[in-house]
Amino acid sequence: MKRLFVLASCFLLTSSLLAAVRSKDVAFKSGDETVHGILYLPDGAGPHPAIVVIHEWWGLVPWVKEQAANLAAQGYVTLAVDLYRGKSTTDPEVAHELMRGLPQDRGVRDLVSAVNYLKTLKSVDPNRLGAVGWCMGGGFAAAFAVADPDLKAVAINYGSLPTDPASLGMIHAAILGNFGALDQGITPQDVNDFASAMRSMGKQVNVKIYPDAGHAFENPNNKNGYRAADTRDAMERMRVFFRQNLQG
């Protein structure tokens, strides 16, 4: 009974915080192009820490928007960036083609432009900036950490990892990683090698490999691979990570 009361209280608190979150469509320049995204604003004038939210290969779908809103409810200005220029899908074959059609350099440029846009907002503290991504977005989060020395905290969820020592040396952000041991694309060896290399350089890195999880285990739309308990743990790890590194 006590546990049910606590869970109900947490649900009501989260619901009230989400109700205070405001969102709006925004646009900003990335090179000669215009990029769109959804900006989520927490309650209060700020300035708040800010997090760039990077979507999976599906595009800027409702689940990613939900993650951005949840982070905003925790006190962050969040910007969910549309790397696909308005396209999204639920078809894996289409998602694969969309991902293949996104040049790595353009995607990273869009993310750097997104954080530069956030720095112009009065509601944002430009000294407390972070990023989070899943799947394809997790790989872009890692590349973003290499490209932008102003990032303070980056969470990588089952995304591809840099291996080049020169690239690793350019990472200034604290890194959190959540990975599945059954992932065929990003293996436990890949994760451990990345973490070891980062630590050898004195970088701040915290990775966890979930033994019964595969790729995309945090997304409930992944009907055969979703792991609810592992997801709750990964989300809590991210909540604590961002609080410690962006909120102090």
Is this structure's pTM higher than 0.85?
Answer: yes
What distance in Å separates the CA atoms of residue 163 and residue 134, rounded to the nearest whole number? 19
Q: Which fold has domain 22-247?
A: Rossmann fold (3.40.50)
What distance in Å separates the CA atoms of residue 248 and residue 235, rounded to the nearest whole number? 18
What distance in Å separates the CA atoms of residue 131 and residue 154, rounded to the nearest whole number? 5
H or E, element range at 87: none
Q: What is the pLDDT along the chain (248 residues), one digit of tens a residue?
A: 444 443 444 433 455 567 689 999 999 999 999 999 999 999 998 999 999 999 999 999 999 999 999 999 999 999 999 999 999 999 999 999 999 999 999 999 999 999 999 999 999 999 999 999 999 999 999 999 999 999 999 999 999 999 999 999 999 999 999 999 999 999 999 999 999 999 999 999 999 999 999 999 999 999 999 999 999 999 999 999 999 999 97
Count other C-beta atoms under 10 Å from residue 12's C-beta. Answer: 10
The answer to whether residues 150 and 171 touch, using CB atoms and an 8 Å cutoff, is no
Domain boundary assignment for the chain: 22-247
pLDDT tens, position by position, 32-44: 999 999 999 999 9
pLDDT tens, position by position, 174-203: 999 999 999 999 999 999 999 999 999 999
